[in-house]
Amino acid sequence: MEEHALEITNPAGIYDPRPHAYSHVATVSAKDLLVFVAGQGGSRMDGILINDFRTQVKIVFENIAIALASKGLTMHHIAKLTTLLVGYDDEKHQILIEESTKIWADLKFPVNTLIPVGRLALEGMLIEIDAVAVSF
């Protein structure tokens, strides 16, 4: 079995979080490079925010992927996400789960903390996600 610097697990005795698109524990070997990606919003280089939650989620993940690619990493190198979401409701949560599952189809989701907020830095910004990734 190939050993990696990043191990995603869900220990016995804690409920299975995978239906909600996250995992409980990410273990990182300290010998490898850690990459921290600042909170990414739902706009591209033009700075325009489309007033559609799913579109913003897709763009957030695209932006994180671009940042990681600049260091030779992919979305599968992510150990930890922090998600800030404006106007949290079950529908938005389901969209986030659906879009996350497209990326992590193997259900090895990064550890993720979801925080509902009243507003983000820019008017019209509906979601912001930062990431911590590890090279392996």
Q: What is the pLDDT of residues 8-46, one digit of tens each?
A: 888 888 879 899 898 887 777 767 788 889 899 999 889
**Residue whose C-alpha is closest to residue 5's, from 36, 20, 37, 27:** 27
Select from 62, 127, 120, 123 the least CA-distant residue to 92. Answer: 127
Q: Give the C-alpha distances (Å, rounded to integers) separating 33 from 41, 64, 120, 136.
A: 24, 17, 30, 8
∠ at Cα 95 (35, 9), nearest 5°? 50
* Structure confidence at residue 107 as a pLDDT band (50, 70, 90): very high
Question: Under CATH, which architecture does the 6-134 domain have?
Answer: 2-Layer Sandwich (3.30)
Instruction: Give the closest residue to 42 by CA, choosing from 53, 27, 30, 26.
Output: 53
Which pLDDT score, from 0 to 100, does residue 1 have? Answer: 41
pTM of this structure: 0.83
